[in-house]
Amino acid sequence: MQGVPHYFVNNLSIHDDYDVRQFEKDALLVLDDLFQTNDVVIMTGGSGLYIDAICNGFDAIPEVDPEIRRSLNQLYQDEGITALQEKLAELDPDYYKQVDSHNPQRLIRGCEVTIGTGKPFSSYRKRNKINRPFQVIKVGLKRERQELYDRINLRMDQMIAAGLFDEAERLFPFRQLNALQTVGYSEIFGYLEGRYDKDEAVRLLKRNSRRYAKRQMTWFRKDEEMQWFAPDEYEKVVMFVQDQMGR
């Protein structure tokens, strides 16, 4: 971590249930504490939904019957991710356009809230921003597509060399858990189940990682508050942030 304090890294077990509402609560508590002694805190990451939760807030989502989630998990086990995609697209087409459609956990969450409350999950996103007790400055880093994809492929090769397949094999007995229904594990679990060979697993890992990056960019490009820079434009980023802060 190069000496920089990080939060929400290795803070949960794969057996823990966790969602965007809980993240909003936990992250706001951490921010409240950090701003006691820091003028600037950096939130970085890829999940637009989780970033929106901090910047814009969510309406309170009522508790739903746990049996709904169990039935959706069973649907996923029996019929695969396509069944979840089709169900969410029917129940909440607005959220389906934004969600990572290859993440079963997100698909199930959207479906269960819509079924359990009778209102689309997307309707619980704040139409008007919550006035947070801190200023939000949004900086996006943008690479040329081919350069980005080449770096994703290289990063995946590095992760595989560092033991990604061994890690997934250790987690294989728990593959039904929501925390493991993500790009990086799902593809290897398919290989371990004998559905395809290792070369195909590697191909899927790279392809699905690239697709995820594309969905991330699609999400953030819609944010009119995002100011875009090339990753090597460090001085420009600093000047922009300082200008926004009035320094």
In order of 4, 92, 108, 112, 127, the CA distances from 116 in angstroms are: 41, 13, 12, 6, 21
Residue pLDDT, tens place only, 69-112: 999 989 988 898 899 999 999 999 999 988 878 788 889 999 99
pLDDT higher than 80, residue 128: no
CA angle 167, 168, 170 (to 5 degrees): 65
pLDDT of amino acid 218 = 87
Helix (H) or strand (E) holding 54: helix 48-55
Residue pLDDT, tens place only, 226-239: 999 999 999 999 99
Residue pLDDT, tens place only, 143-163: 999 999 999 999 999 999 999
Which sequence spans correspond to the domains of the chain?
1-58+130-135, 63-124, 137-247
What CATH class does 63-124 carry?
mainly alpha
Mean of the pLDDT values across residues 132-137?
A: 94
pLDDT of amino acid 55 = 92
137-247 maps to which CATH number?
Answer: 1.10.287.890
Beta bridge partners of 58: 125
